[in-house]
Structures are given as structure tokens and as C-alpha cells.
């Protein structure tokens, strides 16, 4: 029989530990912050962070107000807490009131752009720390941040997209660091951190990145709203990442993008990532948060349609593995892109329950390329064990079919696509159907890299072990291209496939296709010519 003292001891042992972060609170106004939108408050906020860290951790509280700030440096066991009506405003160095922290020197900056290679030059940074967070429901307004930055010193034909054309400096510019002196180009930057929570706040105009997280272990992003003029979330060389219930509007760049660069000096994969219950879009910058959802901007700087998508790549040296993407809405944006062009492997990816409307390029884009942005001898990457299911895309840009494209000798492998409904605008011509898309193996990977595709629905080249089940492809206006174009593919299964096609147009163009298995493909039994094999469409 346990005595009272033993019961008390047992209760204490079973009770959850009370950490300093749960009990201590440090109001930035007690450290001199004004919150008037005119006084620079970053020194006061940093003093509050230092006090919280010295006390073993705690909340740094920002009550309602506008806190004009330059660089804020988070420390271990400290959480910024933004009350309703609290706004951290990124100050403009041109005002003469101050400067952002200098970008640190990085000997590993050769293969990725300036923005991916530096973290200190940010509005809020957390570097080599643990147990940190930012929680809402306030706002981070990055109006004083620059959206630009120099490109990578490493160059190769096709290695730099036009979206970076407005960058400060340029690739290999010896004065790049000087030109960025005093500027901030990220709202939040995390480098080599552990146990990070970002929850319930909003970001407006976050600079080059609303969030750059590099080498982060155990990152939770939940219930954020981001409305920005460049990238939303860039998750690089990180693991155990959970992104949920977020809304990200980015007409000029990617909304949620996973990367695996060499910015930390080694090819570390991004792995164990879940992205769920999210919305991404490409409405005019600022019109998500103000509720107008305006659509005057028609193109991103690279002249393709507005961006706003979910993507794996482009930086892909370390590869990606164990990734799930589920229950996401794409609106007025590019579709899902899964890319490896810098030597890494993409393995074990599951994508399910996506809806897309007004898709500005391909709804699905799987690409192995050979940009080779890495040390001498960087190999061609690999892509295998990809499962995509339950996808509906309506009003899709007609020039760019959903694509699965490897390289000669480097096929995309073991892909299952099921329960897919893709509705294109149509309008493709017979001349389009006769096009021969180039390989462009070293080009920057975008659906537009191949030009207008010779199929309206699904373009497959250099793949093996491909299963397509319960697939429906249709057009909103007549299209003279076939639904499928399949080249250098082995072991492909088509089961319960439905398409629409114009009179005299074949179901598919096949070239060097081995072991094709058709089951319940009703469209090929309607008396029209089903396939064109090893040749172009007839004149």
C-alpha cells in the first residue's frame, strides 16, 4: 500500500515539466519599445529577447501597436508572441534610421543564389539555437525588405530563371556582398535550429523569402497566412517538418517549396515532411490579406503564368525523401512540381487530395534534369516511388500538359497516378501535335521549357514502371492534339482511362514503348484510329 508521500512523489514524477517558456513573460514596452510605427523598436525587442534567454526562456510579448524594426535575433528557449493588433514592420534602410545585420560570410555559397546562402540579413533570424517560436495572431509587415539578391556565382547555360532578373547585383558579381550591405531580404530566417514553432500570425510582403528554413530539425508551421511578392516558405536541407492549415499567396514565385541545396556545405536531404490542409494561389500581391483577391497581374517575371504553387526543387543536391502532400487547394497558380536537376534523388513521395482551378502551367510536372549545379562530377538525379491520387484540375492552361519527363538513360521510375480528372482549355492545333519537344536537359525546369506540347493531356518521356488508373482527360474547346504522347517508356499500365478527342485525332502517339498494358480504356474502341506508333500525326 502506497503512503501519501509516495503518492505525491509519484504524481510529481508523472506531471509534465513546467518550462520557463510556459511561465515567464517579457513585455517589449518594459524595455523601451514604443510601438508607434515611427520609433525603431528592434533594440528594445532584442533586449527583451536577451532578458528572456538569460532567465532560461519565456515569451517576448508585443502588445497591439506598430513596431518599426531592423534585425531581431531570437535566442534559445524564447518565443515571440504577437498579440492581436501587433505588427512588426520591417524598416527601410533608405530612411537613414538604421540597417539590417550584415549577411554572414559563407564559403558554401557557390551553387545557390545569395538569398539561399545568408540568414543574418533578415528581419527575424534564429541561428544555431533551439526551442524557439513565433506565435500570433499579429502581423509581420516586410515593407522595408528587398525582394532581390544576387544569383549564384556558379553559372551554366539555362541555370538562372528570368524571375531573378530584377536581382540586386548579378551572378558572380564581386561587389554583391557590398551591394547587399545593410539590406534585409527575408522576413524570417532559420539556420541550424531545432524545435521551432511558427503559428497563427500573418506575413505581408516578406522580401525574397517570407521564410527561409535551412538545416532545421523539427519544424512546425501551422495556421499562417502569407501574402508576399516573392517566395513563401522555402524549406531547405531540413527534416521532420510539418506544414498545416496555411494560406500562401505568391504571384511572383513559389508558395511552398522544398529544397536541398549545398548552402550548409553538404548535400543534406530534405526528409520527413508533411504538407496538409493548405491553400496556395497567385492573386495580386496583398490582395489575399485585404480580401479583394484581385487578378490584374497576368504573368510572373519569367513570363510564364503567375506562380503560387507547391514544388520540390529547384535546388536538389541532397534530394528529397518521405514526403506527403495532402488536402491542398491551388487557385490561379501553377500546379504541383516535383523536380531533381542537381544530382539528388526524389524517393517515396505521396500526393493526394488536390484541387486546382485556373492552372497557369502544367497541373503536374515531374522532371529529372541535368542542370548539375554542384561540384565537379555531380551525377544526374533519380526519381522513384511516387504516388499521386485524387487530383482534380479545371481550366488548365492548354499549352502544357501534365508531364512526367526523365532523361535518356535516367528514367522516372515507379510512378502511380490514380483517380485524376484534368480539364484543359483546349485550342491546340494540328501543327502543335506535330511538334518535337527538345530534351533541354540542362535548362531551368519549368513546364514551358519544352514549348507547346504535342499532347493536350499527359506527356510522358523516359519513364518505366508507370501505372495510370481512373484517369479522365478532357478539353473545354476543340483540340487537335491527342490526349497522350508517350516516348521511351517501358512497363506502362493504363486502366480505366477516359479521354475526349477531336475526329481523326488518335488516342496516343507512341514511340519506343515497351510492355504497354491497356485495360478498360473505352476510348480506343470507338472505331477511330487509336494510336500512331513511331511517327508523327498524318498531314
Residues β-bridged to residue 460 = 404, 486
Within a domain: residue 133? yes
- Looking at the fold, whether 406 and 511 belong to one and the same domain comes out as yes
Higher pLDDT, 170 or 478: 478
Q: What are residue 92's DSSP bridge partners?
A: none
253 near 307, Cβ under 8 Å? yes
Does 116 have pLDDT greater than 80?
A: yes
CA proximity to 90, closest of 122, 138, 65: 122
CA–CA dist 433, 35 (Å, integer): 61
Residue 7 confidence (pLDDT): 40
Q: Find the domain containing 444 and state its range.
A: 309-539
| Predicted pLDDT at 126 | 98
Work out whether the CA dihedral 260, 263, 264, 267 comes out positive or negative: positive
User: Does residue 389 sit in the same domain as residue 528?
Assistant: yes
Question: Does any domain span residue 273?
Answer: no
C-beta neighbour count of 479 within 10 angstroms: 25
Q: Are residues 352 and 485 in the same domain?
A: yes
Please report the pLDDT score of residue 232 as a whole number: 98
Same domain for 359 and 224: no
Q: Are residues 193 and 54 in the same domain?
A: yes
Same domain, 217 and 337: no
In tens, the pLDDT along 380-399 reads 999 999 999 999 999 999 99
* Alpha-carbon distances, residue 411 vs 283, 386, 406 (angstroms): 35, 13, 5
Q: How many CA atoms lie within 13 A of 374 on its CB side?
A: 28
Q: What is the pLDDT of residue 522?
A: 64
Question: Rounded to 5 degrees, what are φ and ψ at 204?
Answer: -120, 125
**How far is CA 405 from each of CA 286, 368, 443, 523, rounded to the nearest angstrom?**
35, 6, 13, 25
Evaluate if residue 482 carries a pLDDT over 70.
Answer: yes
Average pLDDT rounded to a whole number, residues 446-457: 96
Decide: helix, strand or coil at residue 102.
coil
Cell of 468: 495510370
Q: Is 488 helix (H, G, I), strand (E, B) or coil?
A: strand
Rounded to an integer, what distance in angstroms lies between the CA atom of residue 371 and that of residue 380? 9
- Dump pLDDT digits (tens) for 229-263: 999 999 999 999 999 999 999 999 999 999 999 99
42-76 confidence digits (pLDDT tens): 999 999 999 999 999 999 999 999 999 999 999 99
| pLDDT band of 529, cuts 50, 70, 90 | low
What confidence category does residue 497 fall into, taking pLDDT thresholds of 50, 70 and 90? very high
| Confidence check: pLDDT of 80 > 80 | yes
- Which pLDDT score, from 0 to 100, does residue 21 have? 45
- Do 220 and 329 reside in the same domain of the chain? no
- The pLDDT assigned to 303 comes to 86
Backbone φ and ψ of 173, nearest 5°: -70, 115
Quote the pLDDT of residue 13.
41
Q: Does 327 share its domain with 214? A: no
Same domain, 334 and 467: yes
Quote the DSSP letter at residue 438.
Answer: -
38 C-beta neighbours (distance < 10 Å), count: 10
Alpha helix ranges (H) inside 455-529: none
Q: Does residue 252 form part of some domain?
A: no
pLDDT of residue 441: 95
The model's confidence at residue 41, banded by pLDDT at 50, 70 and 90, is very high
For the cut 60, the answer to whether the pLDDT of residue 465 exceeds it is: yes
**Would you say residue 452 lies in a domain?**
yes
Q: What is the CATH number of the domain that holds 107?
A: 2.160.20.10
- Asked if the model's pLDDT at residue 534 lies above 60, the reply is no
Q: Let me know if residue 375 belongs to a domain.
A: yes
Model pLDDT for residues 187-239, shown as the tens digit of each residue: 999 999 999 999 999 999 999 999 999 999 999 999 999 999 999 999 999 99
Backbone angles phi, psi at 275, to 5 degrees: -125, 115
Q: Are residues 343 and 477 in the same domain?
A: yes
**Cα–Cα distance for residue pair 235/268, rounded to 1 Å:** 12
Rounded to whole angstroms, the Cα distance separating 199 from 130 reads 16
Tell me the whole-structure pTM to 2 decimals: 0.92
> Quick one: cell of 136?
500570433
Give, in order, the Cα–Cα distances in Å from 462 to each of 186, 394, 465, 487: 38, 27, 11, 7
Q: Residue 80 forms beta bridges with which residues?
A: 60, 134
CA distance 91 to 97: 8
**Total domains, the chain:** 2
Residue 6 CB: number of other CB atoms within 10 A?
A: 10
> Does pLDDT of 2 surpass 80?
no
Give dist(CA 277, CA 246) in Å, integer: 7
Burial class (CB within 10 angstroms; exposed 0-12, middle 13-18, buried 19+) of 10: exposed
Of 3-17, 314-328, 441-455, the one with minimum mean pLDDT is 3-17
Alpha-carbon 339 to chain mean position: 11
Which value, in Å, is the radius of gyration of the alpha carbons in the chain? 25
Report pLDDT digits (tens) over 150-185: 888 886 544 444 444 333 333 345 566 777 889 999
Give 470's contacts (C-beta < 8 A, 6+ positions apart).
418, 419, 420, 495, 496
Q: Give the C-alpha separation, 152 to 118, whole Å.
A: 12
The reply to whether 420 and 322 lie within a common domain is yes
Q: Is residue 285 part of a domain?
A: no
**Which residues are registered as beta bridge partners of 68?**
40, 89
**Integer Cα distance of 440 and 449 in angstroms:** 7
| Cell, residue 337 | 512540381
Burial of 160 by CB count in 10 Å (0-12 exposed, 13-18 middle, 19+ buried)? buried
Give SS3 for 31: helix
Taking the C-alpha atoms of residue 27 and residue 46, their distance in angstroms, rounded to an integer, is 11
Cell numbers for 457, please give them.
493531356
Amino acid at each position: 500500500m502506497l503512503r501519501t508521500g509516495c503518492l505525491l512523489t509519484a504524481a510529481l514524477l508523472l506531471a509534465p515539466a513546467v518550462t520557463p517558456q510556459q511561465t515567464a513573460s517579457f513585455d517589449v514596452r518594459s524595455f523601451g519599445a514604443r510601438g508607434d510605427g515611427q520609433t525603431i523598436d528592434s533594440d528594445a525587442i532584442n533586449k527583451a529577447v536577451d532578458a528572456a534567454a538569460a532567465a532560461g526562456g519565456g515569451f517576448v510579448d508585443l502588445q497591439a501597436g506598430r513596431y518599426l524594426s531592423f534585425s531581431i535575433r531570437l535566442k534559445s528557449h524564447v518565443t515571440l508572441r504577437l498579440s492581436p493588433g501587433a505588427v512588426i514592420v520591417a524598416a527601410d534602410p533608405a530612411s537613414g534610421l538604421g540597417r539590417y545585420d550584415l549577411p554572414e560570410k559563407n564559403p558554401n555559397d557557390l551553387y545557390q543564389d545569395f538569398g539561399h546562402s545568408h540568414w543574418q540579413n533578415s528581419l527575424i533570424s534564429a541561428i544555431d539555437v533551439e526551442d524557439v517560436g513565433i506565435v500570433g495572431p499579429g502581423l509581420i509587415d516586410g515593407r522595408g525588405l528587398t525582394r532581390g539578391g544576387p544569383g549564384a556565382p556558379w553559372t551554366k547555360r539555362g541555370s538562372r530563371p528570368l524571375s531573378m532578373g530584377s536581382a540586386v547585383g548579378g551572378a558572380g558579381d564581386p561587389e554583391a556582398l557590398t551591394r547587399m550591405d545593410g539590406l534585409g531580404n527575408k522576413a524570417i530566417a532559420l539556420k541550424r535550429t531545432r524545435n521551432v514553432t511558427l503559428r497563427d500570425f500573418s506575413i505581408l510582403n516578406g522580401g525574397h523569402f517570407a521564410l527561409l528554413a535551412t538545416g532545421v530539425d523539427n519544424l512546425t508551421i501551422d495556421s499562417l497566412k502569407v501574402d508576399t511578392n516573392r517566395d513563401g516558405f522555402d524549406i531547405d536541407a531540413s527534416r521532420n517538418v510539418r506544414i498545416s492549415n496555411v494560406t500562401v499567396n505568391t504571384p511572383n514565385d513559389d508558395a511552398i517549396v522544398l529544397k536541398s541545396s549545398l548552402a550548409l556545405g553538404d548535400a543534406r536531404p530534405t526528409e520527413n515532411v508533411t504538407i496538409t490542409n493548405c491553400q496556395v494561389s497567385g492573386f495580386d500581391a496583398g490582395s489575399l490579406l485585404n480580401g479583394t483577391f484581385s487578378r490584374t497581374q497576368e504573368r510572373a517575371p519569367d513570363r510564364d503564368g503567375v506562380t503560387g504553387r507547391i514544388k520540390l526543387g529547384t535546388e536538389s543536391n541532397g534530394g528529397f525523401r518521405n514526403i506527403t502532400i495532402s488536402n491542398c487547394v491551388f487557385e490561379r497558380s501553377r500546379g504541383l512540381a516535383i523536380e531533381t536537376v542537381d544530382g539528388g534523388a526524389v524517393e517515396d513521395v505521396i500526393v493526394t487530395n488536390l484541387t486546382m482551378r485556373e492552372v497557369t502551367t502544367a497541373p503536374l510536372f515531374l522532371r529529372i534534369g541535368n542542370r548539375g549545379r554542384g561540384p565537379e562530377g555531380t551525377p544526374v538525379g533519380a526519381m522513384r516511388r511516387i504516388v499521386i491520387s485524387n487530383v482534380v484540375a479545371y481550366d488548365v492552361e492548354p499549352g502544357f500538359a501534365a508531364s512526367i519527363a526523365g532523361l535518356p538513360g535516367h528514367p522516372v521510375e515507379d510512378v502511380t497516378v490514380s483517380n485524376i480528372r484534368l480539364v484543359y482549355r483546349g485550342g491546340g492545333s494540328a501543327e502543335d501535335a506535330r511538334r518535337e519537344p527538345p530534351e533541354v536537359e540542362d535548362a531551368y525546369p519549368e513546364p514551358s521549357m519544352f514549348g507547346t506540347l504535342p499532347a493536350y493531356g499527359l506527356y510522358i518521356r523516359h519513364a518505366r514502371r508507370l501505372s495510370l488508373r481512373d484517369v479522365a482527360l478532357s478539353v473545354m474547346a476543340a483540340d487537335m492534339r491527342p490526349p497522350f504522347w508517350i516516348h521511351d517508356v517501358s512497363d506502362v499500365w493504363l486502366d480505366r482511362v477516359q479521354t475526349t478527342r477531336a475526329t481523326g485525332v488518335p488516342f496516343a502517339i507512341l514511340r519506343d514503348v515497351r510492355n504497354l498494358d491497356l485495360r478498360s480504356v473505352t476510348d480506343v474502341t470507338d472505331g477511330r484510329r487509336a494510336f500512331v506508333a513511331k511517327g508523327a500525326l498524318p498531314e
